[in-house]
A and B are shown apart, each in its own frame.
Chain A
Amino acid sequence: MSERISVFFEQALNIKPISQLECIQCKHKLERPYKEKEYVNKAVDDKCPKCQSPMYVKAIYVYPQPKQF
Protein backbone atom coordinates (compact mmCIF):
# COMPACT_ATOMS: atom_id res chain seq x y z
CA MET A 1 0.00 0.00 0.00
CA SER A 2 1.44 3.36 -1.00
CA GLU A 3 2.25 5.98 1.60
CA ARG A 4 -0.37 8.38 0.21
CA ILE A 5 -3.23 5.93 0.64
CA SER A 6 -2.12 4.99 4.16
CA VAL A 7 -2.12 8.70 5.09
CA PHE A 8 -5.61 8.96 3.60
CA PHE A 9 -6.86 6.05 5.75
CA GLU A 10 -5.28 7.55 8.86
CA GLN A 11 -6.93 10.93 8.21
CA ALA A 12 -10.32 9.51 7.21
CA LEU A 13 -10.63 7.11 10.13
CA ASN A 14 -9.29 9.39 12.86
CA ILE A 15 -11.67 12.31 12.68
CA LYS A 16 -12.05 14.53 15.73
CA PRO A 17 -15.61 15.91 15.90
CA ILE A 18 -16.33 19.02 17.97
CA SER A 19 -19.50 19.66 19.98
CA GLN A 20 -20.58 23.28 20.11
CA LEU A 21 -22.47 23.88 23.35
CA GLU A 22 -24.79 26.81 24.05
CA CYS A 23 -26.05 28.07 27.38
CA ILE A 24 -29.84 28.05 27.55
CA GLN A 25 -29.82 31.30 29.58
CA CYS A 26 -27.08 33.65 28.41
CA LYS A 27 -26.51 31.96 24.99
CA HIS A 28 -22.79 31.76 25.69
CA LYS A 29 -21.16 29.32 23.27
CA LEU A 30 -18.16 27.06 23.71
CA GLU A 31 -16.48 24.23 21.84
CA ARG A 32 -15.18 20.99 23.25
CA PRO A 33 -14.39 17.51 21.85
CA TYR A 34 -17.45 15.46 20.96
CA LYS A 35 -18.46 12.81 23.48
CA GLU A 36 -19.99 9.48 22.46
CA LYS A 37 -23.83 9.37 22.18
CA GLU A 38 -24.14 13.16 21.98
CA TYR A 39 -26.48 14.64 19.38
CA VAL A 40 -27.76 18.04 18.33
CA ASN A 41 -30.33 19.49 20.79
CA LYS A 42 -29.28 17.08 23.57
CA ALA A 43 -29.04 18.61 27.05
CA VAL A 44 -25.58 17.94 28.49
CA ASP A 45 -24.13 17.92 32.02
CA ASP A 46 -21.72 20.79 31.30
CA LYS A 47 -22.48 24.08 33.03
CA CYS A 48 -22.09 27.50 31.47
CA PRO A 49 -18.74 28.99 32.61
CA LYS A 50 -20.38 32.45 32.76
CA CYS A 51 -23.72 31.89 34.54
CA GLN A 52 -23.58 28.20 35.60
CA SER A 53 -26.83 27.43 33.73
CA PRO A 54 -27.35 24.13 31.88
CA MET A 55 -26.10 23.83 28.31
CA TYR A 56 -27.16 21.87 25.23
CA VAL A 57 -25.45 20.69 22.05
CA LYS A 58 -26.06 23.34 19.42
CA ALA A 59 -24.03 21.73 16.63
CA ILE A 60 -21.57 18.91 15.95
CA TYR A 61 -18.98 19.35 13.23
CA VAL A 62 -15.41 18.78 12.17
CA TYR A 63 -12.89 21.35 11.02
CA PRO A 64 -12.23 20.97 7.30
CA GLN A 65 -8.93 19.23 6.61
CA PRO A 66 -6.70 20.49 3.83
CA LYS A 67 -7.28 18.16 0.90
CA GLN A 68 -3.99 16.55 -0.05
CA PHE A 69 -5.15 13.74 -2.28
Chain B
Amino acid sequence: MQMVLFNSINIVIYQLLPPSQTNDFYSFLLSLFYFLIFIMFFVSMLFPGLQLSLFTTFSLRRIGDKITILDELDLKSKKTLAEQLKKFGADGEKLSEHVRELTEFFEISPVDRDPAGILNRLEYILDLTRYRFRSLLKLYAPKVDENALSTLEDTASIAQVIHLINRIAKHYYNMAKKFKNYYIAQQVEFILPFLIDMAKNYFRALPATTLEVPIGDGIGPMVIARMYKEFGVNETKELGNEMVVGEAEFQNRKLLLMKASGPAGRVGKPGAAVKQLVKSLEGKVNLIVTIDAALKLEGEETGEIAQGVGAAIGDPGPEKYKIEESALEYRIPLVAIIIKQGFNDAISPMIKTIADKVDDVVNRVKNLVLETVPEGGIALIVGIGNTLGIGNAS
Protein backbone atom coordinates (compact mmCIF):
# COMPACT_ATOMS: atom_id res chain seq x y z
CA MET B 1 0.00 0.00 0.00
CA GLN B 2 2.84 2.37 0.94
CA MET B 3 4.60 1.45 -2.28
CA VAL B 4 1.54 2.30 -4.37
CA LEU B 5 1.19 5.66 -2.62
CA PHE B 6 4.89 6.44 -3.10
CA ASN B 7 4.65 5.66 -6.83
CA SER B 8 1.53 7.85 -7.23
CA ILE B 9 3.29 10.80 -5.59
CA ASN B 10 6.29 10.25 -7.86
CA ILE B 11 4.08 10.33 -10.93
CA VAL B 12 2.37 13.55 -9.80
CA ILE B 13 5.69 15.23 -9.06
CA TYR B 14 7.06 14.11 -12.41
CA GLN B 15 3.99 15.55 -14.15
CA LEU B 16 4.61 18.89 -12.44
CA LEU B 17 8.20 19.21 -13.51
CA PRO B 18 9.00 22.52 -15.28
CA PRO B 19 8.95 22.62 -19.13
CA SER B 20 12.75 22.77 -19.31
CA GLN B 21 12.88 19.20 -18.15
CA THR B 22 9.97 17.88 -20.21
CA ASN B 23 10.64 20.21 -23.15
CA ASP B 24 6.95 20.63 -23.66
CA PHE B 25 5.11 23.61 -22.22
CA TYR B 26 1.67 22.44 -23.41
CA SER B 27 2.14 19.07 -21.80
CA PHE B 28 2.85 20.89 -18.59
CA LEU B 29 -0.37 22.91 -18.87
CA LEU B 30 -2.35 19.78 -19.60
CA SER B 31 -0.84 17.99 -16.67
CA LEU B 32 -1.61 20.94 -14.44
CA PHE B 33 -5.21 20.84 -15.61
CA TYR B 34 -5.50 17.11 -14.84
CA PHE B 35 -3.87 17.68 -11.51
CA LEU B 36 -6.41 20.39 -10.59
CA ILE B 37 -9.28 18.11 -11.56
CA PHE B 38 -7.72 15.38 -9.48
CA ILE B 39 -7.52 17.74 -6.48
CA MET B 40 -11.06 19.06 -7.08
CA PHE B 41 -12.35 15.51 -7.09
CA PHE B 42 -10.90 14.88 -3.66
CA VAL B 43 -12.06 18.26 -2.37
CA SER B 44 -15.60 17.56 -3.59
CA MET B 45 -15.49 14.25 -1.73
CA LEU B 46 -15.20 16.28 1.45
CA PHE B 47 -18.60 17.91 0.72
CA PRO B 48 -20.98 15.09 -0.33
CA GLY B 49 -24.05 17.35 0.01
CA LEU B 50 -22.76 19.55 -2.78
CA GLN B 51 -22.74 16.72 -5.34
CA LEU B 52 -26.20 15.55 -4.34
CA SER B 53 -27.53 19.08 -4.54
CA LEU B 54 -26.12 19.43 -8.07
CA PHE B 55 -27.63 16.09 -9.14
CA THR B 56 -31.01 17.15 -7.67
CA THR B 57 -30.91 20.47 -9.53
CA PHE B 58 -30.15 18.73 -12.87
CA SER B 59 -32.80 16.07 -12.23
CA LEU B 60 -35.46 18.68 -11.34
CA ARG B 61 -34.60 20.66 -14.47
CA ARG B 62 -35.10 17.57 -16.65
CA ILE B 63 -38.43 16.79 -14.89
CA GLY B 64 -39.55 20.43 -15.30
CA ASP B 65 -39.00 20.19 -19.07
CA LYS B 66 -41.04 16.99 -19.27
CA ILE B 67 -43.84 18.34 -17.08
CA THR B 68 -44.53 20.98 -19.75
CA ILE B 69 -45.62 18.12 -22.07
CA LEU B 70 -48.20 17.03 -19.48
CA ASP B 71 -49.31 20.66 -19.10
CA GLU B 72 -49.87 20.91 -22.86
CA LEU B 73 -51.84 17.64 -22.96
CA ASP B 74 -53.94 18.79 -19.99
CA LEU B 75 -54.60 22.20 -21.55
CA LYS B 76 -55.54 20.82 -24.96
CA SER B 77 -57.86 18.16 -23.55
CA LYS B 78 -59.63 20.82 -21.45
CA LYS B 79 -59.93 22.96 -24.57
CA THR B 80 -61.57 20.06 -26.44
CA LEU B 81 -63.99 19.53 -23.54
CA ALA B 82 -64.82 23.26 -23.50
CA GLU B 83 -65.53 23.18 -27.25
CA GLN B 84 -67.85 20.21 -26.80
CA LEU B 85 -69.70 21.87 -23.90
CA LYS B 86 -70.08 25.03 -25.97
CA LYS B 87 -71.49 22.97 -28.86
CA PHE B 88 -74.29 21.85 -26.54
CA GLY B 89 -75.18 25.31 -25.28
CA ALA B 90 -72.79 25.89 -22.36
CA ASP B 91 -72.56 29.37 -20.87
CA GLY B 92 -69.47 30.97 -22.46
CA GLU B 93 -68.67 33.16 -19.47
CA LYS B 94 -68.56 30.31 -16.96
CA LEU B 95 -67.01 27.78 -19.33
CA SER B 96 -63.56 27.62 -17.68
CA GLU B 97 -65.20 27.28 -14.26
CA HIS B 98 -67.38 24.41 -15.51
CA VAL B 99 -64.42 22.66 -17.16
CA ARG B 100 -62.44 22.97 -13.93
CA GLU B 101 -65.30 21.50 -11.88
CA LEU B 102 -65.70 18.55 -14.28
CA THR B 103 -61.99 17.75 -14.44
CA GLU B 104 -61.62 18.00 -10.65
CA PHE B 105 -64.58 15.66 -10.07
CA PHE B 106 -63.65 12.66 -7.89
CA GLU B 107 -65.08 9.57 -6.25
CA ILE B 108 -64.09 7.98 -2.96
CA SER B 109 -63.76 4.19 -2.98
CA PRO B 110 -65.73 2.33 -0.29
CA VAL B 111 -63.89 1.23 2.83
CA ASP B 112 -62.30 -2.21 2.36
CA ARG B 113 -61.26 -3.02 5.93
CA ASP B 114 -64.59 -4.76 6.36
CA PRO B 115 -64.91 -6.49 2.97
CA ALA B 116 -68.40 -7.93 3.58
CA GLY B 117 -70.76 -6.46 1.01
CA ILE B 118 -68.06 -4.29 -0.55
CA LEU B 119 -69.21 -5.04 -4.11
CA ASN B 120 -72.69 -3.71 -3.41
CA ARG B 121 -71.24 -0.55 -1.89
CA LEU B 122 -68.78 -0.20 -4.79
CA GLU B 123 -71.59 -0.60 -7.32
CA TYR B 124 -73.62 2.01 -5.49
CA ILE B 125 -70.69 4.48 -5.47
CA LEU B 126 -70.03 3.84 -9.19
CA ASP B 127 -73.70 4.36 -10.07
CA LEU B 128 -73.86 7.47 -7.97
CA THR B 129 -70.65 8.86 -9.51
CA ARG B 130 -72.02 8.34 -13.00
CA TYR B 131 -75.40 9.83 -12.12
CA ARG B 132 -73.83 12.91 -10.52
CA PHE B 133 -71.32 13.39 -13.37
CA ARG B 134 -74.06 13.14 -15.99
CA SER B 135 -76.24 15.57 -14.01
CA LEU B 136 -73.38 18.10 -14.01
CA LEU B 137 -72.89 17.64 -17.76
CA LYS B 138 -76.62 18.16 -18.38
CA LEU B 139 -76.51 21.27 -16.23
CA TYR B 140 -73.52 22.77 -18.02
CA ALA B 141 -74.53 21.66 -21.55
CA PRO B 142 -78.32 22.06 -21.49
CA LYS B 143 -78.86 21.25 -25.19
CA VAL B 144 -77.31 17.79 -24.97
CA ASP B 145 -79.57 14.79 -25.72
CA GLU B 146 -79.29 11.32 -24.13
CA ASN B 147 -77.11 9.84 -26.91
CA ALA B 148 -74.75 12.80 -27.12
CA LEU B 149 -74.57 12.88 -23.33
CA SER B 150 -72.90 9.45 -23.21
CA THR B 151 -70.28 10.56 -25.73
CA LEU B 152 -69.78 13.89 -23.91
CA GLU B 153 -69.31 11.89 -20.73
CA ASP B 154 -66.46 9.98 -22.43
CA THR B 155 -64.80 13.26 -23.52
CA ALA B 156 -65.09 14.69 -20.01
CA SER B 157 -63.73 11.47 -18.45
CA ILE B 158 -60.66 11.57 -20.72
CA ALA B 159 -59.99 15.23 -19.81
CA GLN B 160 -60.45 14.27 -16.15
CA VAL B 161 -57.88 11.43 -16.34
CA ILE B 162 -55.26 13.55 -18.16
CA HIS B 163 -55.74 16.28 -15.56
CA LEU B 164 -55.32 13.73 -12.76
CA ILE B 165 -52.07 12.38 -14.27
CA ASN B 166 -50.74 15.94 -14.56
CA ARG B 167 -51.72 16.74 -10.96
CA ILE B 168 -50.03 13.63 -9.56
CA ALA B 169 -46.80 14.20 -11.52
CA LYS B 170 -46.70 17.84 -10.44
CA HIS B 171 -47.37 16.92 -6.82
CA TYR B 172 -44.25 14.74 -6.58
CA TYR B 173 -42.19 17.18 -8.65
CA ASN B 174 -43.08 20.04 -6.30
CA MET B 175 -42.43 17.87 -3.28
CA ALA B 176 -38.93 16.99 -4.53
CA LYS B 177 -38.37 20.70 -5.21
CA LYS B 178 -39.66 21.79 -1.82
CA PHE B 179 -37.51 19.37 0.20
CA LYS B 180 -34.65 19.36 -2.37
CA ASN B 181 -34.91 15.58 -2.17
CA TYR B 182 -32.85 13.73 -4.75
CA TYR B 183 -34.55 10.38 -4.13
CA ILE B 184 -38.07 11.70 -4.74
CA ALA B 185 -36.81 13.54 -7.85
CA GLN B 186 -35.27 10.30 -9.14
CA GLN B 187 -38.50 8.37 -8.63
CA VAL B 188 -40.47 11.04 -10.49
CA GLU B 189 -37.90 11.05 -13.29
CA PHE B 190 -38.11 7.25 -13.63
CA ILE B 191 -41.90 7.11 -13.75
CA LEU B 192 -42.51 10.29 -15.81
CA PRO B 193 -42.00 8.68 -19.28
CA PHE B 194 -44.72 6.12 -18.40
CA LEU B 195 -47.08 8.86 -17.18
CA ILE B 196 -46.48 10.92 -20.33
CA ASP B 197 -47.10 7.86 -22.49
CA MET B 198 -50.34 7.14 -20.62
CA ALA B 199 -51.51 10.76 -20.95
CA LYS B 200 -50.67 10.72 -24.68
CA ASN B 201 -52.69 7.52 -25.13
CA TYR B 202 -55.69 9.08 -23.42
CA PHE B 203 -55.27 12.18 -25.56
CA ARG B 204 -55.39 10.01 -28.71
CA ALA B 205 -58.86 8.85 -27.57
CA LEU B 206 -60.27 12.40 -27.69
CA PRO B 207 -60.80 12.61 -31.48
CA ALA B 208 -62.70 9.28 -31.32
CA THR B 209 -65.24 10.80 -28.93
CA THR B 210 -65.58 14.07 -30.85
CA LEU B 211 -65.93 12.30 -34.23
CA GLU B 212 -67.93 9.41 -32.69
CA VAL B 213 -65.93 6.60 -34.28
CA PRO B 214 -65.37 3.15 -32.69
CA ILE B 215 -62.40 2.65 -30.37
CA GLY B 216 -60.29 -0.50 -29.99
CA ASP B 217 -62.22 -1.50 -26.86
CA GLY B 218 -65.36 -1.64 -29.03
CA ILE B 219 -64.31 -4.92 -30.66
CA GLY B 220 -66.75 -6.93 -28.46
CA PRO B 221 -69.85 -4.88 -29.43
CA MET B 222 -68.61 -4.84 -33.04
CA VAL B 223 -68.61 -8.65 -33.11
CA ILE B 224 -72.24 -8.64 -31.88
CA ALA B 225 -73.19 -5.96 -34.46
CA ARG B 226 -71.63 -8.15 -37.20
CA MET B 227 -73.61 -11.15 -35.94
CA TYR B 228 -76.84 -9.08 -36.03
CA LYS B 229 -76.13 -8.43 -39.71
CA GLU B 230 -75.05 -11.97 -40.52
CA PHE B 231 -78.06 -13.62 -38.86
CA GLY B 232 -80.52 -10.98 -40.13
CA VAL B 233 -81.50 -9.65 -36.70
CA ASN B 234 -83.71 -6.69 -37.53
CA GLU B 235 -84.66 -5.53 -34.07
CA THR B 236 -83.24 -5.59 -30.61
CA LYS B 237 -84.93 -5.50 -27.23
CA GLU B 238 -83.98 -2.96 -24.56
CA LEU B 239 -82.97 -4.79 -21.36
CA GLY B 240 -82.44 -1.72 -19.20
CA ASN B 241 -79.02 -0.72 -17.84
CA GLU B 242 -78.23 0.60 -21.35
CA MET B 243 -78.07 -2.94 -22.76
CA VAL B 244 -79.84 -4.48 -25.78
CA VAL B 245 -80.34 -8.07 -26.89
CA GLY B 246 -81.20 -9.56 -30.29
CA GLU B 247 -82.35 -13.10 -31.04
CA ALA B 248 -81.02 -15.27 -33.87
CA GLU B 249 -81.29 -18.86 -35.01
CA PHE B 250 -78.14 -20.79 -35.86
CA GLN B 251 -78.33 -24.45 -36.88
CA ASN B 252 -81.31 -25.19 -34.59
CA ARG B 253 -79.75 -23.32 -31.71
CA LYS B 254 -80.97 -20.03 -30.29
CA LEU B 255 -78.44 -17.22 -29.98
CA LEU B 256 -79.04 -14.28 -27.64
CA LEU B 257 -76.72 -11.52 -28.81
CA MET B 258 -76.16 -8.82 -26.20
CA LYS B 259 -74.28 -5.53 -26.29
CA ALA B 260 -74.49 -1.99 -24.92
CA SER B 261 -77.00 0.20 -26.76
CA GLY B 262 -75.22 2.06 -29.57
CA PRO B 263 -74.05 4.04 -31.38
CA ALA B 264 -73.41 6.43 -28.46
CA GLY B 265 -70.37 5.88 -26.21
CA ARG B 266 -71.83 3.46 -23.66
CA VAL B 267 -70.57 0.37 -21.89
CA GLY B 268 -73.83 -0.41 -20.09
CA LYS B 269 -74.09 -2.86 -17.20
CA PRO B 270 -73.59 -6.27 -18.81
CA GLY B 271 -73.49 -8.12 -15.49
CA ALA B 272 -76.91 -6.87 -14.43
CA ALA B 273 -78.33 -7.61 -17.91
CA VAL B 274 -76.89 -11.16 -17.98
CA LYS B 275 -78.28 -11.86 -14.50
CA GLN B 276 -81.71 -10.55 -15.48
CA LEU B 277 -81.82 -12.51 -18.75
CA VAL B 278 -80.58 -15.80 -17.27
CA LYS B 279 -83.12 -15.49 -14.44
CA SER B 280 -85.97 -14.78 -16.87
CA LEU B 281 -85.01 -17.97 -18.77
CA GLU B 282 -84.89 -19.88 -15.44
CA GLY B 283 -81.27 -20.76 -16.10
CA LYS B 284 -82.06 -22.65 -19.31
CA VAL B 285 -78.95 -21.32 -21.02
CA ASN B 286 -76.35 -23.80 -22.26
CA LEU B 287 -73.46 -21.42 -22.73
CA ILE B 288 -72.42 -17.86 -21.84
CA VAL B 289 -69.68 -16.34 -23.99
CA THR B 290 -68.10 -12.97 -23.17
CA ILE B 291 -66.06 -11.23 -25.86
CA ASP B 292 -63.79 -8.36 -24.89
CA ALA B 293 -60.59 -6.54 -25.75
CA ALA B 294 -57.70 -7.48 -23.48
CA LEU B 295 -54.33 -5.89 -22.90
CA LYS B 296 -51.54 -7.66 -24.75
CA LEU B 297 -48.15 -8.26 -23.23
CA GLU B 298 -45.11 -6.63 -24.83
CA GLY B 299 -44.03 -8.74 -27.80
CA GLU B 300 -47.48 -10.15 -28.51
CA GLU B 301 -49.24 -9.22 -31.73
CA THR B 302 -52.12 -6.77 -31.86
CA GLY B 303 -55.36 -8.49 -32.75
CA GLU B 304 -54.33 -11.95 -31.53
CA ILE B 305 -57.40 -13.94 -30.45
CA ALA B 306 -57.38 -16.25 -27.43
CA GLN B 307 -60.03 -18.35 -25.71
CA GLY B 308 -60.35 -19.25 -22.05
CA VAL B 309 -62.74 -19.75 -19.17
CA GLY B 310 -64.35 -17.04 -17.00
CA ALA B 311 -65.92 -13.65 -17.58
CA ALA B 312 -63.92 -11.39 -19.92
CA ILE B 313 -64.81 -7.99 -18.55
CA GLY B 314 -62.57 -5.27 -17.20
CA ASP B 315 -64.93 -3.53 -14.78
CA PRO B 316 -63.95 -2.74 -11.17
CA GLY B 317 -65.84 -5.83 -9.96
CA PRO B 318 -69.63 -5.66 -9.67
CA GLU B 319 -70.46 -6.60 -13.28
CA LYS B 320 -67.97 -9.44 -13.45
CA TYR B 321 -69.26 -10.77 -10.14
CA LYS B 322 -72.86 -10.83 -11.42
CA ILE B 323 -71.91 -12.77 -14.57
CA GLU B 324 -69.94 -15.31 -12.49
CA GLU B 325 -72.79 -15.56 -9.97
CA SER B 326 -75.38 -16.25 -12.71
CA ALA B 327 -73.15 -18.90 -14.30
CA LEU B 328 -72.50 -20.55 -10.95
CA GLU B 329 -76.14 -20.53 -9.81
CA TYR B 330 -77.32 -22.51 -12.86
CA ARG B 331 -73.98 -24.24 -13.61
CA ILE B 332 -73.70 -22.65 -17.05
CA PRO B 333 -70.34 -22.97 -18.86
CA LEU B 334 -68.68 -19.55 -18.99
CA VAL B 335 -66.29 -19.04 -21.91
CA ALA B 336 -64.22 -15.92 -22.63
CA ILE B 337 -62.83 -14.80 -25.96
CA ILE B 338 -60.30 -11.98 -25.91
CA ILE B 339 -58.80 -9.87 -28.67
CA LYS B 340 -55.37 -8.70 -27.57
CA GLN B 341 -54.30 -5.09 -28.06
CA GLY B 342 -52.11 -2.46 -26.47
CA PHE B 343 -53.52 0.09 -24.04
CA ASN B 344 -53.12 2.85 -26.66
CA ASP B 345 -55.03 0.80 -29.29
CA ALA B 346 -57.82 -0.02 -26.82
CA ILE B 347 -58.71 3.60 -26.05
CA SER B 348 -57.92 5.29 -29.39
CA PRO B 349 -59.82 5.01 -32.72
CA MET B 350 -59.97 1.37 -33.80
CA ILE B 351 -57.15 0.39 -36.13
CA LYS B 352 -57.75 -1.77 -39.22
CA THR B 353 -55.69 -4.64 -37.79
CA ILE B 354 -58.25 -5.02 -34.98
CA ALA B 355 -61.35 -4.36 -37.13
CA ASP B 356 -60.22 -7.13 -39.53
CA LYS B 357 -60.39 -9.69 -36.70
CA VAL B 358 -64.17 -9.38 -36.25
CA ASP B 359 -64.98 -12.14 -38.79
CA ASP B 360 -62.44 -14.48 -37.17
CA VAL B 361 -64.09 -13.97 -33.76
CA VAL B 362 -67.56 -14.55 -35.25
CA ASN B 363 -66.32 -17.87 -36.72
CA ARG B 364 -64.83 -18.87 -33.38
CA VAL B 365 -68.13 -18.16 -31.62
CA LYS B 366 -70.05 -20.23 -34.20
CA ASN B 367 -67.67 -23.19 -33.80
CA LEU B 368 -67.93 -22.89 -30.02
CA VAL B 369 -71.74 -22.90 -30.15
CA LEU B 370 -71.81 -25.94 -32.44
CA GLU B 371 -69.36 -27.75 -30.17
CA THR B 372 -70.96 -27.02 -26.79
CA VAL B 373 -74.64 -26.22 -27.29
CA PRO B 374 -77.00 -29.10 -28.20
CA GLU B 375 -79.71 -28.62 -30.84
CA GLY B 376 -82.61 -26.69 -29.35
CA GLY B 377 -80.27 -25.12 -26.77
CA ILE B 378 -79.58 -21.46 -26.01
CA ALA B 379 -76.27 -19.58 -26.11
CA LEU B 380 -75.89 -16.13 -24.63
CA ILE B 381 -73.16 -14.14 -26.43
CA VAL B 382 -72.15 -10.86 -24.80
CA GLY B 383 -70.00 -8.22 -26.48
CA ILE B 384 -68.26 -6.29 -23.69
CA GLY B 385 -66.84 -2.81 -24.24
CA ASN B 386 -67.61 0.71 -25.35
CA THR B 387 -70.09 0.73 -28.22
CA LEU B 388 -69.17 4.21 -29.49
CA GLY B 389 -69.83 4.38 -33.24
CA ILE B 390 -71.34 0.88 -33.32
CA GLY B 391 -75.07 0.65 -33.95
CA ASN B 392 -77.57 -2.00 -32.98
CA ALA B 393 -79.57 -4.10 -35.44
CA SER B 394 -80.41 -2.15 -38.59
Residues of A at under 8 Å CB distance from B? 1-2, 5, 8-9, 12-13, 15, 17-18, 20, 34, 36-37, 39-43, 56, 58-64, 69
Contact = CB atoms under 8 A, between A and B. Distances in A.
List the 7 closest pairs (A to B, CB-CB), nearest first. Answer: A39-B263, A61-B355, A41-B391, A40-B390, A59-B355, A64-B351, A39-B391
B144 to A, nearest CB: 16
Given A34-B211, A61-B355, A41 B350 contact: no
B67 to A, nearest CB: 12
A17 to B, nearest CB: 5
A61 B76 contact: no
A42 B351 contact: no
Given A17-B211, A41-B391, A63-B352, 11 more contacts: A1-B68, A1-B72, A5-B69, A37-B212, A39-B262, A39-B391, A42-B394, A59-B222, A59-B350, A59-B355, A62-B349
Interface string B346-381: 000111111100100000000000000000000000
Contact of B352 (A12, A43, A62): A62
* Size bracket, chain B contacts: 35 or more
A41 B200 contact: no
A22 B214 CA distance: 17
A20 to B, nearest CB: 8
A17 B350 CA distance: 9
B207 interface: yes
Contacts of B222: 40, 59
Interface in B201-256: 203-204, 206-208, 211-214, 222, 225-226, 228-229
B392 interface: yes
Contacts of B76: 9
Contacts of B393: 41
A56 B358 CA distance: 16
Contact of A40 (B206, B208, B211, B263): B263
Contacts of B228: 41
B389 interface: yes
B221 to A, nearest CB: 8
Nearest to A14: B207
Nearest to B208: A15
Nearest to A9: B76
30 contacts: A5-B69, A8-B200, A9-B72, A12-B204, A12-B206, A34-B211, A36-B211, A39-B262, A39-B389, A40-B214, A40-B222, A40-B389, A40-B390, A40-B391, A41-B225, A41-B392, A42-B263, A42-B391, A42-B394, A56-B229, A58-B226, A59-B214, A59-B358, A60-B214, A60-B350, A60-B355, A61-B352, A63-B351, A64-B351, A64-B353
A13 B355 CA distance: 21
Interface string B172-207: 000000000000000000000000000010011011
Contact of B207 (A2, A13, A20, A61): A13
Interface string B249-284: 000000000000011000000000000000000000
Q: Specify which of B206, B207, B393 lies most central, judged by the most chain A CB atoms within 10 Å of its CB.
A: B207
Nearest to B204: A12
A36 B212 CA distance: 8
A56 B76 CA distance: 35
A19 B138 CA distance: 31
B349 A40 contact: no
A61 B351 contact: yes
A59 to B, nearest CB: 4
A29 to B, nearest CB: 11
A57 B390 CA distance: 10
B159 to A, nearest CB: 14
Contacts of B207: 12-13, 15
B213 A60 contact: yes
A7 B206 CA distance: 16
Contact of B213 (A8, A9, A17, A41): A17
A64 B355 CA distance: 11
A36 B110 CA distance: 41
